[in-house]
Structure 1
Amino acid sequence: MDVRIGLIGAGWMGKAHTYAFANALMAFGPESGKPIFELISDIDEGAAKTACQKLGFSRWTKDWKKVVTDKNVDVVDIATPNIFHYEIAKAALENGKHVYCEKPLTLSFKESKELAALAEQKGVINYVGFNNVMNPATHYIKDLISSGKLGEVMTFRGTYDQDMLLDPELPITWRHITKYSGSGALGDLGSHLLSVSQFLLGDVQSVNALSKTFIEERPAAPGSSKLVQVENEDFITIIANYKNGAVGTLSSSRVATGRKNYLFYEIQGTKGSVYYSLERLNEVNVYFTSDKSADRGYRTVFLGSDHKGYKVFNPASGIAIGFNDIKILEVHELLSAITNNTPYICDFEFGARIDQVISAVLKSAAGKMWVQVREEGAVSR
């Protein structure tokens, strides 16, 4: 079955999505759907034309509205800055399209919940690109929890740090302006960590957060002497109570000196513990109290063909996969849901739950108080 793709956004993430679609066909075959690159859109005409040629799309346009209404498009793939997600996704759903949207789903829980309800009403596939949920390591750790090997989970400790914005001479971008991004390090990086904890531990019940902007002004443009106010946080730290009784400490920084792509978390249970770092993507470290040997301690599990998602790439443990391979697993799940009606994890309801927690965290940091995470949104205690 052909699945015709209309991509909105010709930047790095749009290219990553296209690469993933093309390689999903090579890795899994056409049984889960054959992606057809039908139409690409970008507000930059030059970028749209160039991407159309290089990525193999049949047509290009500057107007995203032509993508969501095109009769030859089955899936609208949204790889734009955050502010445009809601409007584009809503229009695509209203036109009966399947939607694949990069995270975060929208800038607010209210908007995300609206989209989740609309997607259910329309009966179309609705997928949010939380790629770390599709990481085979995440699924291995989920199996450890579900099987009871870790016992009762007591704590989740995690961080997602990068130093990509450490240089104060880097100019202001849409990521620094709240009306375009929704938040700073929390939405850009922390949302990935929240998606992993949501998948592994379930709902967060309440949060207490502290945020900080270390670089308060940035140049208006490269080399400019004019400085512009940074509107959102460089750093966020969160204490979280989960509905299952576990306690979490989560943090994220976009100015973390020396850290490049440091998504790290540790889960401690009554029978065992596990820790993982994205910088060592193919290794999971586990400890079980049942090991009574004199040299007991953490041991490293090298992920491989025995673990979900690996064998399509490599035949043996220790042969590494990477970021783009996880994106391949992500789009394969999307294609399979469209063509074979198979279940999938990161639907718009899942995305709305992450945005609900983000809303509560932002309210907590602003008010310096505990905030309950409830179905109607973030409500202070």
Structure 2
Amino acid sequence: MSPIRIGLIGLSTNSQGTSWASAAHLPYLLSEQGKAHYEIKALCNSSVESAKKSIEHYKLPGEVKAYDSAQDLANDKDIDLVVCVVGVERHYELLKPAVEAGKNIYTELPLASNLDQIRELVSLAEKKGSKTMFGSQGQASPVVKVIKKLIADGKLGKVLSTSLKGNSGIAGGDAVPTGYKYIVVRKAGGNSATIFFLHSFNCLLETFGELEAFSSVMGIERPRMNLIDLKQNGKVVETIDKDTPDNIMLQGRFKSGALVNYELRSAAQFPGEPGVRWTIHGDKGEILVTCPSGMFDINHEGVKIQFHDMSKDSAETIDLPSDSLADLKHPAQNVGRLYEAYAKGESDSYCDWKLALRRHELIEEMFQRGDGSEPFGEKASYVTKDGSSSGSSTGASSGSIQGSQAEVDADAQGSILADREVKPKEITREAGSGNTQTTVEALEAEGFGASSGKNDLSRNGGNRDLAS
């Protein structure tokens, strides 16, 4: 069978951060196993010169074509699969020509900047008959596959509940480099919800099925954010309003009946603690998963899976099965497994755009529930406005716990994207941020601009290659 011919958008040598294309895609595509299934035929960057520079830099064959136009790439009859690995801000404009040309497409997440763009692309792909793939690695993750097998084999008995607490590994301070402005501006489309939540919660949905009911809270704890220039030793060049969440919490129930408790914090984990702790409880057994990286579907190096048979006093460690891609460095392993699944027609091992739309619709519903003018949750009836018991002589408050909206605004230290069934598109509250000094070293420790280490963006899902 002839190799699948790839046109790759976004393989740059001048990335604003970590090049996800070179870190996650190239290692597999240039491996002997990858070359058995795929062949890179063209690059598309912001200029032909940039594309030619990448061809030379990455030692690609001289016959690889260089484009500066997504339309020209889409018109190339020698391309079977368009792979888009750039910032989400440009996904829609770069993907649409390929879809209209009927190309098959693999794009990184998020699919596009907003739900209208996503729905249009998905509808057009279905109309054109395009095969699509979406860069959430949960379906291909060996961690998820091991857990699903333990459940399917009846080791846990009836699954009763699951709890996942994790950290994004980045974006925990009051400043970000200018190249990562998109993380704090919701309109751009790439933030902790649409990237890190989507990565990790997709693993839960892949394991347990869809949600039947849920409540969620999305907190904006730092409503003002400094943008800094790393080339000027971290100098603050702009301060902007932030309307994307720092913390995401969700509780609910899957259609299977299992309960779920989920918490994601946009920051590095506490020193010495794992990046993620995931437990699954059944009536016969339980599982504990820990991993240094919060996004274990991207990087499961150092993962530990323990199974406890409740009829015994101790737990056993479950090893991940080895395969032909286990020697690839993270994050290329699970990206390689997606490519393998696509080449072999194993559609249950990767996420297509139709499923991606469902995942984005969940996130949009979470945002809409919080886009109101009231604080999150139902009021606590046992306490009054002045803090006394509802049964005391002061009487119960007739408003929300915090009183009037004016009082809420006056007391606000941050913003909450709340769990409420409302539709308006404004963020609840804003307030000033702290004055913590942010250094280049501190940002590199969190992963911004770093090229290695536990919080490297290439290991936690950051992608700032704008094909420049």
TM-score range with shorter-chain normalisation? 0.7 to 0.9
Cα shift at 1:44:
6.2
Name which one, 1 or 2, has greater alpha-carbon Rg.
2
Is this contact kept in 2: 1:109–1:353, CA < 8 A?
Answer: no
For residue 128 of structure 1, report the CA deviation from its aligned partner. 0.6
Distance change (3 Å), C-alpha of 1:226 and 1:313: closer
Q: Which residue of 2 aligns with 1:4?
A: 5
Corresponding residue number in structure 2 for 1:303: 320
Range that drifts further, 234-243 or 196-205: 234-243
**Deviations 1:102-137 (Å, cap 9, x if unpaired)?**
112234445434434433333332111112331211
- Aligned identity (percent) is 19
Residue 332 of structure 2 is aligned with which of 302, 324, 328?
Answer: 324
Do the aligned residues in 2 keep the contact of 1:204 with 1:357 (CA within 8 Å)? no
**Could you give the per-residue CA deviations for residues 224-255 of structure 1, whole angstroms, max 9, x where no partner exists?**
35312222112111112211111111122222
Does residue 245 of structure 1 match 2:245? no
Cα distance in 2 between the residues matched to 1:45 and 1:236: 41
Measured after TM superposition, the shift of residue 302 of structure 1 is 1.9
Instruction: Report the Cα distance in structure 2 between the residues aligned to 1:176 and 1:134, rounded to whole angstroms.
Output: 29
Counterpart AA for 1:143: K
Show the counterpart of 2:285.
Answer: 272
Structure 2, gaps ≥5 residues long: 230-234, 293-300, 378-418, 422-468
Cα 1:131–1:360, aligned 2, differ >3 Å: closer, same or farther?
same
Q: TM-score, normalised by structure 2?
A: 0.68
| Structure 1 unaligned residues grouped into runs of 5+ | 305-309, 373-381
1:352 aligns with 2:357: yes
Separation in 1, partners of 2:189, 2:323: 37
2:243 maps to which of 231, 243, 246: 231
State whether residues 6 and 81 of structure 2, in contact with CA within 8 Å, keep that contact through their aligned partners in structure 1.
Answer: yes
Structure (1 or 2) with the greater helix fraction: 1
Which of residues 77, 84, 93 is equivalent to 2:83?
77
Partner residue of 2:72 out of 51, 57, 66: 66
Among 29, 37, 46, which residue is 1:43 paired with? 46
Give distance in 2, aligned partners of 1:107 and 1:286: 40
Normalising by structure 1, report the TM-score: 0.82
Task: Letter of the 1:125 partner, please give it.
Answer: K
Cα distance in 2 between the residues matched to 1:355 and 1:49:
35
- The RMSD of aligned alpha carbons is 2.8
Higher strand share: 1
Change (3 A) 1:114 1:344: farther
Are the aligned partners of 2:132 and 2:353 in contact in 1 as well (CA < 8 Å)?
yes
Shift of 1:181: 2.0
SS in structure 2 of the partner of residue 96 of structure 1: coil
CA distance in 2, matches of 1:242, 1:74: 38
Aligned residue pairs, count = 350
Secondary structure of 2:344's aligned partner = helix
Retained in 1: the 8 A contact 2:159–2:282? yes
Q: Distance in 1 between matches of 2:260 and 2:209?
A: 12
